[in-house]
A and B are shown apart, each in its own frame.
Chain A
């Protein structure tokens, strides 16, 4: 059972609930219990929302106001100084060119990672799901295990290999490692999705054309719209939010934004400029947050499918 289908079923259930009252019913009175539940949920929502609020207001404050200590107070004077500094001048290690360096690195890492990982896992998932490959079962099991292996156990060998391939410390190196590490999970998701393509459609296509690639590009890819969007979102957010791969394989020249941010906030010398830190944190968080608030439902489908495979 893929969680994706669970999520889809859940979505279906919701629609049914929305449609349920076919005839107008007496409007339900709000009960005491409902009020208690809503109050509790609102308090929880507050707990979840407070950090975002604090980060946002802090990033617009001056250091002088921050030192006064009223962490929840809105900025007495709204200023973009901290944002400007974080973007243009913040230091990451010995480089003080701001987070924009990391931002562009992240963008540069993102595209090859997406193309490589999706191409690889989509073809693999398609071949495993719809073609008769004798060793598909054992291979899937192996992928399932690989999906849960801790990164540390393959870290040094991967460093070695990327050095040999002369991509260590480059955008390509980071992108390559992202693609390799996400391959098992993405393949399992694609396979689960393609498993639901009716066998007869593939049989018909085999009789019509027989070409693995033609069937893939003409029949299967056009049928993959939904899953592609879900995977795209899953992969964009996970590559963007990654720290470990970036810090391990980015060297000095290909550090993604998260690494810049981590370097900034863990500086132990001198006074800490919290407004700059928070502005930097927000700058890093904005791209995935925008995606989340635009297409939250697909995002949730992606992470649950990614976590559970099936």
Chain B
């Protein structure tokens, strides 16, 4: 086949993106994986001591801070899942009760527009033990209540979860609302005619129909949780002690504060592994969906 300019120009146009992907993503990932097997400290070292190539990893799993990070990751994941539930409830209510839809939507979604550093700053202030909400609660006589969560190692994660839920519920609400609106409106009339109570309709028909939306939300949430960094910096900076460390925070600490490149690389590789575990269902889901669509076309 003769070389044609019209064939060539799209390929030429793709070279920058291809180069970026190859260098900044594929190459960089390989680089970090390689570094994780070396003894690199502040500067990269490129010799691998094959007798103990996994030393960074074994150190990692003996490090309390890393184990705390993993535990916190799970806590944060489970806690933030409330945002999906909350988002669904809000979406269902807005969808049924059309009054005030756009107002409510605007209010529920605005936290998403601001930086997590701002969110963290606001919640850090409200959790202040002396002048924040706790003080207000005590002033109105609720002296038994404790709202200075960030100040204590055992409750600090809950503070972060609360801020995360506040920040992200609107997002899941928006996704759910889109899912709900794509449900055939005749279902509602049919249920009304059949006299099916609304809650049963939701549990037995609507939620199963929105299976895909729920799975999508769950995966997005997991990916978001793995990346959680800004909100930790702004609210607790990992403290008190190391009680609010998460892998993303741990990794960056290892690199920038402790200056331990090999160790940070090993932690980053573990983050990638966790992402892959979460990501796999998404890939399968996409493939499955495509197959189903291909079948539908036939």
Query: Chain A residues in contact with chain B, CB under 8 A?
Result: 1, 3, 6-7, 9-10, 13-14, 17, 34, 37-38, 40-41, 44-45, 47-49, 51-52, 54-55, 58, 66-67, 69-72, 120-121, 123-124, 126-128, 131-133, 139, 142-146, 148-158, 160-161, 180, 183-184, 187, 206, 210-213, 237, 240-244, 248, 258, 261-262, 265-266, 274, 277-278, 280-282, 284-285, 288-289, 291-293, 296, 299-300, 303-304, 307-308
Docked-complex contact B6 and A69, CB < 8 angstroms:
no
**Interface residue from B18, B25, B131, B268 paired with A69 (Cβ < 8 Å):** B131
Q: Are A44 and B139 in contact (CB under 8 A)?
A: no
Q: Decide if B45 is an interface residue (CB 8 Å cutoff).
A: no
Complex CA gap A261/B170 in Å reads: 24
Q: How far is the CA of A296 from the CA of B182 in the complex (A)?
A: 21
Q: Is the CB of B32 within 8 A of A284?
A: no
Identify B265's interface contact among A38, A47, A156, A291, CB under 8 A. Answer: A156
Q: Which of B46-102 contact A (CB under 8 A)?
A: 90, 93-94, 96-100
Known: A48-B111, A155-B268. Is A265-B234 also a contact (CB below 8 A)? yes
> Which of B17, B23, B118: most chain A Cβ within 10 A?
B118
8 contacts between A and B (CB under 8 A): A123-B16, A124-B17, A133-B10, A146-B21, A150-B275, A155-B252, A289-B110, A296-B109
Contact present for B100 and A38 (CB under 8 Å)? yes
Flag the segment in B149-157, B173-181, B201-209 that touches A. Answer: B173-181
Q: Are A120 and B114 in contact (CB under 8 A)?
A: no
- For A34, the chain B residues whose CB sits under 8 A away are 97, 99
- B133-A241 in contact (CB<8A): no
A54 and B10 within 8 A (CB): no
A150 contacts B226, C-beta separation under 8 Å: yes
Known contacts A41-B93, A152-B271, A243 near B116 by CB under 8 Å: yes
Residues of B within 8 A of A (CB): 6-7, 9-11, 13-14, 16-18, 20-21, 23-29, 31-32, 35, 44, 90, 93-94, 96-100, 103-126, 128, 130-133, 135-136, 139, 166, 169-171, 174-175, 177-179, 181-182, 216, 220, 223, 226-227, 229-230, 233-234, 237, 248, 251-252, 255, 261, 264-265, 267-269, 271-272, 275, 279, 282, 286, 289
